[in-house]
Amino acid sequence: MQAARGTSLSPDDSSLTDTRSHPSGLAVRSLLVLCFALPYAVDQLTKWLAVDRLTGEPDRSLVGDLLVLHLTRNAGAAFSTGTGYTELFSVLAIIAVCVVLWLSRRVRSLLWAAAFGLLLAGILGNLTDRVFRDPGVLRGHVVDFLMLPNWPVFNVADVCINVAAALILIQAFRAVRLDGTRAEKDEDGAHAAGDAE
C-alpha cells in the first residue's frame, strides 16, 4: 500500500529512488580507478626516468629557475622530516591505504571518487618506493626529482596527495558526504540531508 502522494511507506524501498541527479555506481568506480591508475603509472614512470637519466648528472632546468629536475632520495616523510622512522612511515602508509579502500566502498560522489583515487595513487606511489627501493623492504627511500624555488624536492605522488587533500577539503567545506548527499541547514538551523554531487 502506498501513501496518497505515491510514496512508499517503506523508507528502504530503493526501487523508487530518483537516480537522475546521482552518478551511477559504475561511473563512480570507474573514475576512482582512473584517478588512481593513471597518476600511479605516471608517478612510477617518471621516477624510473629520473633515476635512469639524472643519477650522477647536474640539475636540469625545465622552466627556467621555476621548475628544475634535481634527483634526491628521501628516507623521511614530507619535507624530509623523520628520516630515522622510515619503517614507521611505511606501516602508516599501509594503514592509510586500507582505510581509504574501506571508505571507498561508500563513495557515490564523482568528486569524492577523484579525491580517493588520487589519494591512493599518491600513497601507493611513495609506498612502492618504500617497499622496493634501497636500502630494503619498508626502508626504501622515496625518489624525488621536481624542485621549485624555496620548496622541498617532490614527485608526482606528492602532487596527487596534495590535490586529493584539496578536493577533500572542498567536499568537507561544502558538507558533502561520501554518498554524495549534502547536509544543509533548514529554517531552524538544523541540518537536513540534501542532494549534492
CB 177 within 8 A of CB 104: no
- From the candidates 144, 179, 186, 195, give the one annotated as an active-site residue: 144
With the C-alpha atoms ordered 69, 72, 76, 79, is the resulting torsion angle positive or negative? Answer: negative
Q: What is the pLDDT of residues 11-25, one digit of tens each?
A: 444 443 444 467 889
Joined together, the cell numbers standing for residue 4 give 496518497
Joined together, the cell numbers standing for residue 14 give 530503493
pTM of the full structure: 0.82
Q: Does residue 65 carry a catalytic annotation?
A: no
For residue 36, give the nearest of 118, 129, 128 by alpha carbon.
118
- From the candidates 158, 186, 188, 195, give the one annotated as an active-site residue: 158
- pLDDT average, residue stretch 89-112: 96
CB 43 within 8 A of CB 125: yes
Q: Does residue 59 carry a catalytic annotation?
A: no
Tell me which amino acid residue 142 is.
V
Q: What is the pLDDT of residues 109-124, one digit of tens each?
A: 999 999 999 999 999 9
